[in-house]
Amino acid sequence: MLAPEQIFNEEESHESSEESASFQQANLPRKTLPSPHPDRAPRSAKLAALHARLSLSKKIPLQILARTLVDPSADAHPQFNNANLAFVGASLLQYHTSEWIVTRYPRLPMGIVFSAMNGYAGGPALLRIARAWGVEAAAAPGEKVDPGYLQYSREKPTVLVHKWGYARAEVKELEKYKWRRGMSSRVIFDDPFGNTVSKEPKEPKDPKDPKEAAELEFRQTRDPDNSEIRDGDQNAHANFVRAVVGAVYLYCGSEAAKTFIKAFVLSRTLDISNLFSFRLPQRELTRLCDRENFDPPVARLLSETGRLSRTPVYVVGIYSGYDMLGEAAGSDLESAKIAASINALKSWYLYSPPNVSLPSDTFEEGAAPWEPAYIDMGEIIS
């Protein structure tokens, strides 16, 4: 048998070893997190204010709203950044934006449709929306940052999280020789905004420049797929808006996401008439009248003033039979005639049928049967 002193010494030594182990474990340096812990989200006043400002449903927890503010450049873990939510939100934005534009303006040329989609759901537009929501970006991401700040790294370039389209084999020649891309190929091969998708890094303009050589080396080693985004600020804000849309869809359903997009994206004012650029408006108008079996367009002088002065003004109208197609004023007869032809073409392309229904309206329970939208013959090819 052991003596009582030996038993006491053994228990004391066992307790002292446990205390020393716990002390060493407590003093070990803890690995810092790349983004704030989700448990801090309910205690953030900025997150609560943003949640109320956007009138989000209580079904969306503050932890998910905090996740939408974490860019992949700040936290690469897919369960803690907004990459997956932004992917879902981007698909919803492109779908609802395209169906709204096509059904409301059925005569728009496809190039103008691409520009209008970029004006509503493109990166610059989503950047302005995020700033209108009052979202502020943190100086640097980290564990101690308030979860209500948008977090992305300016040192680590962020990566494009949504990239639909086909990488053309001739993309180098398209940029180098300025080859013409047909509208059909833009619809089939390119991204939702009509831009080319490339996996090849762009060649430096001056290979002897050390900065461009270093940039090319960085692309070859760090970004072999050419998916890096140079404008990190714009892309981070845009992905945040896309992630919020994705969160609304996942937690509240498709109808809530559609209402959210209509309230914050499609409600913005975009002057589509400024997106047009005509090279030969008189020829296009003549071909349009010939295709629609209208009388040939005729320019008529409606009024004038100051013909012999320094600033004359001529008002010209374009007529097809007894119907006036367009009217404009100019400092000379030729410019007024061209402006009137442009106005006539815009009035044709910007036609909007009343009480138009969207394809997504039929997703609701008990919705009315689908009424096919008006389909135009297409744009005028000059």
Give the tens place of pLDDT for each residue, 44-78.
999 999 999 999 999 999 999 999 999 998 988 88
What pTM was estimated for this model as a whole?
A: 0.79
pLDDT digits (tens, 9 = 90+) for 311-370: 999 999 999 999 999 999 999 999 999 999 999 999 999 999 988 888 898 888 888 888
Decide: 214 and 187 in contact? Cβ < 8 Å: no
pLDDT of residue 122: 92
Q: Which residue from 55, 74, 110 is spatially nearest to 239, judged by alpha carbons?
A: 74
C-alpha atoms less than 13 angstroms from C-alpha of 202 in its C-beta half-sphere: 14
Q: What Rg do the C-alpha atoms of the chain give, in angstroms?
A: 30
Ordered domains of the chain (ranges, CATH): 38-162+227-273 (1.10.1520.10), 164-226 (no CATH), 276-352 (3.30.160.20)
Q: Tokens at residue 22, please?
A: 């716990």
Judge whether 254 and 89 are in contact, CB under 8 Å. Answer: no
Nearest-angstrom CA–CA distance, 142 and 189: 39
CB atoms within 10 A of CB 204: 15
Whole-number pLDDT of residue 230: 56
- Crossing angle of helices 281-291 and 333-349, in 10° steps, is 50
Q: Structure tokens of 79?
A: 């369960």
Arithmetic mean of pLDDT over the chain: 83
**DSSP assignment, residue 332?**
S
What's residue 62's pLDDT? 96
Round to whole Å and give the CA distance between 24 and 29. Answer: 10
pLDDT of residue 197: 73
Low-confidence ranges of the chain (pLDDT < 70): 1-30, 157-167, 169, 177, 198-231, 382
Alpha-carbon distance of 64 to 86, in angstroms, equals: 12
Q: Confirm if 34 and 156 have CB atoms less than 8 A apart.
A: no
Question: Which pLDDT belongs to residue 192?
Answer: 78
Contacts of 179 (CB under 8 A, 6+ apart): 170, 173
Please tell me the predicted confidence (pLDDT) of residue 193: 79
Residue 177: phi and psi, rounded to 5, are -100, 0
Predicted local confidence at residue 172, as pLDDT? 72
